[in-house]
Amino acid sequence: MTQRCDVVIVGGRLAGACAAVHFARSGRDVVVLDRSKFPSDQLSTHLLFPAGVDELRQMGALRGILAAHPTRSPWLSLSTNRGHGGGASLLERWRPAGPIDYCICVPRPIQDLELVRAARAAGAEVRERNRMLDVLWRGGRACGVRYADADGEVHELHARLVIGADGRRSTVASAVGAFRPYRASRNGRGLVFRYVDDPAYGTREGETIHQWRDGDSLGFMFPSAPSPKALLLFMGAADEAAEAKRDPEGHWARKLAQHPGMAARLQGCTNPTPLRCTGDTSAYFRASSGPGWALAGDAGHFKDPVIGQGQRDALWSGRRLAEVAEPVLDEPAALDLALRRWERERDVECLHAYHFGNLETAVRPVSPVLTEIVRRTSRSPAPDLGDVFGRGRTITQVLSLPALVTGLADALVRGTGGRRADTARDAVAELKIHLGVRRELLGRRFRSSQVVPGSDHPDPCPPVAPPSRRLASVHVQEVTPSGTAVSA
């Protein structure tokens, strides 16, 4: 059975639903295929900073999500403790993004259901429990997909544009020959989390995003939904995920002992859920545009979740893809050029956060320079260090060279890092990494595979593409593209 539409999107969560909304609002005929039945869960850090919440507002999903009564979190608390010279802490507000000045943390079954509802309300057709089998080709261009419906019947859906928004194990990326990243960096940290009921709900403490940095481990607490839930998250070494699977409560007790400030904050919390964990969160960039196709969200780019940027960037990439592609959807040559421009814009938007995630995923003690920057920043509650998480400014703007040099001077005077020679040596090595990141950001190279030493950690075992599900077709002649990355 053959059908037609303007845009077919494989994957109906963050990037897919957001793209569907913005295409449909422009009057385009949009079909979204998703293998899940909503609501359904998804492994995620769940947090949306103000810029991400504003994307929900723009796509019309925020009202439904707020109806689940998530706590709105306008505050950031960050504490560091290296063990030498004491630690430092700050409390500051988030920089607004549009009219939004707060974070929310919503479990994915609640959030993704509202995303699908927003896509349908905008006029997109969302087909659940539909599994994409392959991309269709005509004359070297993607011209649709072959998929199996909920009853197992196979259909062909022809479209002007095929969008893969189907996550890290993207079937669309595999079908278009772009599954193997042209750039990847291995994660150093694992992800272990659970929910609890927070007795501080309704207070400023209960409305604050907490981050504890003790030694080489990170602990987080996010007020969540439905209230009075809170998400508790540890990010230690990647192999700790395996430990958490073997001995969940033993691992949890050990991590709380490592983070005494977090343990004190959790006094009185009740109803803990079972632990969830993963040690596989490596970052990558894939070639994300080609003749008649594009990869949005995690299908095209993924960064370490230690910085909590993935959800916002997925929403952003879906919206910008629709805004760039819709005006030229009926002109194949212009569309392909627009898709290439969109991919370049995505890389510029996300590259600094990619490096931020790479730096944060390295398992090493708290930098004495960062401790002193936190100490200086704590003198005012105005948005500052939190901008690097909230995307108010980039990491190179927040941790500027003057800030790094001043932080080093303060650390040497105060003795924050122990032996001054060790502090100076480590700070110089850190400064070299930051200079390498700045050079790459200034270069603005397209599909760059260069390695920034100290930031990129090349993965010796890149992900393997999922097995092909191709079936014979009598409708469309298939021509497999080369998938080769081309400089532009």
**Is the residue at 114 inside a domain?**
yes
Regions of the chain with pLDDT less than 70: 1, 45, 83-86, 460-463, 466-488
Tens of pLDDT along 288-338?
A: 999 999 999 999 999 999 999 999 999 999 999 999 999 999 999 999 999
pTM comes to 0.92
* Rounded Cα distance, 98 and 344, in Å: 24
How many residues would you count in the chain? 488
Q: What is the mean pLDDT of the chain?
A: 91
In this structure, the dihedral spanned by the alpha carbons of residues 137, 138, 142 and 144, taken in order and rounded to 10 degrees, is -70
Tens of pLDDT along 441-471?
A: 998 899 999 899 999 998 766 667 766 555 4
Scanning the structure block, which residue is given the tokens 């992800």? 191
Is residue 178 located within the same domain as residue 255?
no
Kindly list the distances between the CA atom of residue 330 and the CA atoms of 112, 160, 296, 309, 325, in Å, as whole numbers in the listed order: 30, 7, 20, 33, 10
Structure tokens at 270: 């009740």
What is the predicted pLDDT for the residue at 23? 98
Is residue 130 located within the same domain as residue 63?
yes
Q: Name the domain boundary from 331, 360, 389.
A: 360
What is the predicted pLDDT for the residue at 481? 39
* Rounded Cα distance, 195 and 189, in Å: 20
* Rounded Cα distance, 147 and 132, in Å: 4
According to DSSP, residue 67 is labeled T
Kindly list the distances between the CA atom of residue 131 and the CA atoms of 227, 308, 479, in Å, as whole numbers in the listed order: 35, 29, 22
**Is the residue at 87 inside a domain?**
yes
Burial environment of residue 378 by CB neighbours within 10 A (0 to 12, 13 to 18, 19 or more): middle
**Number of folded domains in the chain?**
3
Is residue 14 located within the same domain as residue 138?
yes
Is residue 329 located within the same domain as residue 377?
no
For 7, the enclosing helix (H) or strand (E) is strand 7-10
Domain membership of residue 93 as a residue range: 75-103+187-278
